[in-house]
Structure 1
Amino acid sequence: MSHPATAVASTDAPSRSAEPRLVARIRDDAEAIDVAHKLAAELAREASERDRERRLPWAELERYVRSGLWGITVPKEYGGAGVSNVTLAQVTAIIAEADGSLGQIPQNHFYAVEIIRVNGSEAQKRFYFDRVLQGDRFGNALAEIGTKNSAERKTRLTKDDTEDGAGYRINGRKFYATGALYANWVPTSAIGDDGVQQLALVPRDAAGLTIVDDWSGFGQRTTGSGSAIFDNVRVPADAVLGFQASFDRPTTVGPLAQILHAAIDLGIARAAYNDLIRFVSTRSRPWIDSGVERAGDDPLTIREVGDLTVQLHAAEALVDRAGLKVDLAAANPTADTVAAASIAVAESRVLTNNVSLAAGSKLFELAGTQSTLAENNLDRHWRNARTHTLHDPVRWKYHAIGNYYLNDKKPPRHGAI
């Protein structure tokens, strides 16, 4: 059994799509945090230039993968570190602080790993987790445009059994395919003949799959969140697993997806906050009525920085709290624990949404006109935050939170709570 354009890898698992890289093997949570900090220092150096020039981060992504960080959620029993969701969120925020786009690119990779953990067969887990530990990365082909809402799918998965074995054909078009451009595998959501949504793990080089680099968003410029076109793409049956099943029963797939979004916003907020502090401390001038010599001594500026600092630290605390709730739900996935995790993550997303936008805006308000000069490229923080926070509307998170506490209503189970 094999993919059309690849060789057979084993008798009981889908075939491999790339040669192994020399990838570090991270052992535990503490090592993951340490590696993330060291890597972030490297990734931050040319982050502004990459954004300004829309220079795709191929080399940076390779260093990121080789660091071992893309494998940290593989469970321990399959050779990974099996880090907590608290640690996963912290690692994501650390990288997103260095570069908002690089922080977002593996979001769907970790999402795919979680779906495999929750819904995959034993053979799928053994095969794909091994590939991740050897350096393969997942992208995504989930969302579509031109549908009546963000959950509707038109892409179809049609049964196609041949003499080579059981399989399917995929036809459709996706957008917001973050990471697919850089991926070895493109997890693709499609509706089967029975009307149920499935996830097909498609090799990036599969015949009939075209990835188009047509992402033109003003923020998150180098995420590669463009189009994926499927023209009669064939996948073997054992490369398909349940997707809708992730939400038909209580699982942590939705909360995990959302805490990663919160962590990305948190990292972007930290980057804007740090640039605000640096600029005001070293380059800004005090307002003429303040009576002080330094912008950093302006009492009204001090007050605004204090307020923003409280917002940032509160967001950090809620992300950590949400990670603990997701960990509890992962260990014991029930309707109650998953609902509690979803609500905790929604609370963290409210604050990270708000502080990322506030930090990107306050930077200019407090730093002054000099900070808007193009050579500084400080607008990338607000552009990144504004683009990423549109993933799903924060106004509905307020509704889910209020309904949970006031009316004891559990939130709907999908990837956008």
Structure 2
Amino acid sequence: MFPDRVLSGMRPTGKLHLGHYHGVLKNWVQLQSEYQSLFMVADWHALTTNYDDVSVIEKNVWDMVIDWIAAGVDPAQACIFIQSRVPEHAELQLLLSMITPLSWLERAPSYKDQIEKLSHKDLDTFGFLGYPLLQAADILLYRSNLVPVGEDQVPHIEITRDVARRFNHVFGKEAGFAEKAEAAIKKIGGKKGKLYDGLRTRYQQDGDVDALEAARSLLQETQNLSHGDRERLFGYLEGGGKMILPEAQPLLTEAARLPGLDGQKMSKSYGNTINLRESADSVTKKIRQMPTDPARARRADAGEPERCPVWKLHQVYSSPEARKWVVEGCKSAGIGCLECKQPVIDGVLAEQKPMFERAQPYLEDLTLVKSIVADGCERARDLARDTMRDVREAMGLSYY
């Protein structure tokens, strides 16, 4: 059994906006205190669709990491690293490609979707076709069993599970597995060994789930076992082979889609965003210029909040009392649109204030950010090396 571990990442596309914060980063901040968490700058993934303009990647990387920290991602709790600084990602993708059917990659929903959306780009490349497998390698390299995603990303996790299952089936049946497992039982001592045997028998013969859990706990608590022996005994317990790569599960998150300045989903492609770290003057100007209910052509005209894009932001940023004031004032023409927008302005600025404070030291000294990432990359590589040692051994590549 592997420990609960979360992996998530973003492509470095530049400074982040409040839609990223409400849709992803708030969830990361919560997860980092609940699980061992790794957050990855997916720069190789960025190249799969933006290989024709690499001039902005470096700046985008540091801007994005600063935004993560500004949003509350804590380097003391989470491992922040850059994908390309851990070359084992590429090695694992290559090795997994030996057993991954081409049809699995072609059926990935986002493959056809991106081909259509980005029809102006030449995406007839191996890198683009293979990116779902690179994503699987990202997850499996850290034996991450929990991946925070929305409903639309679940198919990617299913592909990752399929790849892990196929790998374990092909390479997990090591020669002499049963004999090695029996030898591992002897290593844990007579009393514990007999207890393990008894629990294994109860589970395999009677289907006793409590016995299975008790045996798993016994193995977790046993100190004098190598990683390989521990995994053999987990597999032996359930009647299978050695589990080398765990099957990741989607950690479904509620899609908190923050509306943009025009009422659509906040997105750079729509030009309707507010950055995480945007000046108060700019935020104020943008919100004051937001379109409102078309029925309110004049100050004296009554309106309907449900028809107004500003109302959607009130639902995120305003108190119940303020929302009640908006509904009554709008429908009666008791307040003007600029008055209505002020609580939203206040709410956004209040949300951004601690972000500016957290970001400031890193803006003043970029070496602080680079040091955090360098440390994170080393921590990530330590985990990656452990996985690749087992992968190479399973595939007969540990002879040098």
TM-score (norm 2): 0.24
Of Structure 1 and Structure 2, the greater strand share is in 1
Larger Rg: 2
The structure whose RCO (Cα within 8 Å, separation 6+) is larger is: 2
TM-score (norm 1): 0.24
